[in-house]
Amino acid sequence: MACFIVIPLAAGVVTRTWLIRSRGAAWFEQSFLPRFQPVAVLALLATLVLIFAFQADNITHRFFHVVLIAFPILIQVYFNSSLAYGLMKLFRVPHSVAAPGALIGASNFFELAVATAIALFGPESGAALATVVGVLVEVPVMLSVCALCNRTRRWFDAASPDECPAPTPGCCANWSTFAAESPQAAAGA
């Protein structure tokens, strides 16, 4: 189990600390991370392709099992994300916290579950199938939750003028607070 959590976490902490000490935080944030982002996306895609390749026969030959596994996951992810997002709106949490909170609250961390199921039960096991179906369902559902959060940003108050750069009706719930402070308002005066 340590190889899936402790080793990558420790390697990440050591690498981050070393790079920031040797090159500085500004270089790490503005140069390294933007260059590394495509590598991270490609690694995630490669992982998903390999996971689905291992389970291709199970997914195609056990379609009814896939549906039985997928349907409750679908309901659970949408319910949890809606509940978390709605509660954060109710308690006036800023969108910059509410949107990630909704995604984290709805996540089942299936990627880790896949690794564990394959390590414990093998790539052709029912446990591996269940976790792979979880990834198969969770990834597009989480993308749809993310799109919804982006489309409903205006429901939330902006925490600062930076989050409301062009204050107009509909950009955020408290747009009028920043209207007088905006560069557009100053230019028009």
Overall average pLDDT of the 173-182 stretch: 71
User: Is the pLDDT confidence value at 155 over 70?
Assistant: yes
pLDDT band at 189 (very low <50, low <70, confident <90, very high): very low
Place of tokens 């009028």: 176
* Nearby residues of 6 by Cβ (< 8 Å), 6 or more positions away: none
Rounded-to-integer distance, Cα 40 and Cα 20, Å: 19
pLDDT for the residue 181: 67
The pLDDT score that the predictor gives to residue 156 is 82
* DSSP class per residue in 154-166: GGS--SSGGG-SS
Query: Tokens standing for 70?
Result: 């997928």
What are the DSSP E strand ranges found in 49-156? none
Q: Give Cα 33 distance to the centre of its chain.
A: 17
Q: Are 115 and 132 in contact (CB under 8 A)?
A: no
Give the rounded distance of the alpha carbon of 90 from its chain centre: 22
pLDDT class of 185 with cuts at 50, 70, 90: very low
Q: What is the pLDDT of residues 37-71, one digit of tens each?
A: 888 878 877 877 887 787 788 788 888 988 998 89
Average pLDDT score over residue span 155-169: 74
pTM here is 0.66
